[in-house]
Amino acid sequence: MFKVSARAFPRRSPIFSSKCFASTLTLIETNGSKISPASLSTLNAASKLNQPITCLVLGSDAKKISESEFKNLELSSSNLKISKILYNENSNFDHLLAENISNILTNLINDSKNDITHFFANSSSIGKNIIPRVAALLDVQPISDIINIKDSKTFIRPIYAGNAIATVESSDKLILSTIRSSAFSQISSDSSINNSIVIEELPINDSDITSNNDNKITWVSESLTKSERPDLSSAKVVVSGGRGLKSKENFDKLIDPLAKALNAAVGASRAAVDAGFVDNSLQVGQTGKVIAPDLYFAIGISGAIQHLAGMKDSKTIVAINKLEDEPIYKIADYGLVGDLFEILPELTEKISAL
């Protein structure tokens, strides 16, 4: 159960409440051999509760990752208290299918010796699949898409596609949440630090894996878009193009070189995706990726509310549009009013020459 109050715009503020024995379980997603950038943000969010964090790592490389990837992690505010890593090496967990791990998570959370008061997962397709299922098994109201934490029971999350911000206070003993990674910076790695963390294998029976799934769901394949550019979800600089580019050829000819010059990821509006200029994995917005890079270029993009929902938290926004009263200019820090076909070649040339 929770109560909600909503206001127009959020302010990020530091948190913190503490409990003696409480602990936060965090599900770690990995990119093969590394902790995923989104999980580094989720760990930062977990640190705001100022209580010990238990990390759960599952999959073929779980042991190797547990032993190598956590000991140098640091947080500038030094509230990161990873006390334990639990791992289980089993290829059944490689894609973190909710059907395979929900019972395991439920048992872990229900085990009173773990004192788990919070369970955090990324606001990714994996986390969004797992949290509701575990919440149903535990009969708890989940809180999704957290963008800030006021205290151990009070969370801030967007509603109405980011047009309002709700403060949600839970009265449940257990909090299950997905964390929006664009709202929390990633904790970083420093080789001079060597944290001592307990690393333990989590014993799991085959029956726990199959009891929920019953082999009805199996991972078949995935097809990933290959790009030389940084990943859109975690890039510091993003160059996005919209319908104003007019064709795929123009998009490739004008957006890609600017992105390359800035070592930026490429993004796009839905209109550009629908017109076939780029793959839909590059869509930014309400029904695409929600990002908050340091620098965001919106080029030939009008600034529809659904696009803003995905990029308005960017630290600096630059808009290039030929019409000066387009909504994108209301949130842009810098605007270049003019024809993108004239501006972009010159801008790219000047940036490349730096």
Q: What is the DSSP string of 285-336?
A: STTSB----SEEEEES----HHHHHHHTT-SEEEEEES-TTSTHHHH-SEEE
Among the candidate windows 162-170, 231-239, 247-255, 270-278, which touches ligand FAD by CB under 6 A? 270-278
Among the candidate windows 97-105, 178-186, 188-196, 282-290, which touches ligand FAD by CB under 6 A? 282-290
Q: How far is the CB of 161 from ligand FAD (least distance, A)?
A: 8
- For residue 99, give the 3-state DSSP assignment: helix
CB-wise, 182 or 269, nearer to ligand FAD?
269
Q: How far is the CB of 240 from ligand FAD (least distance, A)?
A: 8
Near ligand FAD in 285-304, by CB under 6 A: 285-288, 300-302, 304
Q: How far is the CB of 53 from ligand FAD (least distance, A)?
A: 32
- When asked if residue 341 is in the footprint of ligand FAD (CB under 6 A), the reply is yes
Near ligand FAD in 309-328, by CB under 6 A: 310, 321-323, 326
Three-state DSSP string of 36-55: CHHHHHHHHHHHCCCCCEEE
Query: Tokens standing for 46?
Result: 């977990």
C-alpha 194/C-alpha 68 separation (Å) is 11
CB-wise, 160 or 219, nearer to ligand FAD?
160
Nearest to 278 by CA among 257, 249, 311: 249
CB-wise, 80 or 275, nearer to ligand FAD?
275
Near ligand FAD in 220-259, by CB under 6 A: 242-244
C-alpha 112/C-alpha 115 separation (Å) is 5
CB-wise, 10 or 244, nearer to ligand FAD?
244
Q: How far is the CB of 155 from ligand FAD (least distance, A)?
A: 24
CB 83 within 8 A of CB 23: yes
- When asked if residue 10 is in the footprint of ligand FAD (CB under 6 A), the reply is no
Nearest to 180 by CA among 152, 151, 149, 150: 149
Binding site for FAD, residues? 243, 269-270, 283-287, 300-307, 321
Residue 201 has phi, psi (to 5 degrees) of -80, 135
Q: How far is the CB of 272 from ligand FAD (least distance, A)?
A: 5
CB 301 within 8 A of CB 244: yes
The single residue listed with the structure tokens 């009263």 is: 325
For ligand FAD, the binding residue among 25, 43, 270, 318 (CB under 6 A) is 270
| Cβ-proximal residues to 244 (8 Å cutoff; 6+ apart), any chain | 299, 300, 301, 321, 322, 340
C-alpha 142/C-alpha 88 separation (Å) is 25
Q: How far is the CB of 273 from ligand FAD (least distance, A)?
A: 8
Among the candidate windows 54-62, 145-153, 168-176, 305-313, which touches ligand FAD by CB under 6 A? 305-313
- When asked if residue 180 is in the footprint of ligand FAD (CB under 6 A), the reply is no
CB-wise, 144 or 283, nearer to ligand FAD?
283
C-alpha 144/C-alpha 158 separation (Å) is 9
CB-wise, 189 or 280, nearer to ligand FAD?
280
CB-wise, 176 or 232, nearer to ligand FAD?
232
- When asked if residue 269 is in the footprint of ligand FAD (CB under 6 A), the reply is yes
For ligand FAD, the binding residue among 111, 200, 339, 349 (CB under 6 A) is 339
CB-wise, 126 or 344, nearer to ligand FAD?
344
Number of residues that bind ligand FAD (CB under 6 A): 27
Evaluated on CA atoms 269, 273, 279, 281, the torsion sign reads: positive
CB 351 within 8 A of CB 258: yes
Give residues in contact with ligand FAD (CB under 6 A). Answer: 242-244, 269-272, 283-288, 300-302, 304, 306-307, 310, 321-323, 326, 339-341
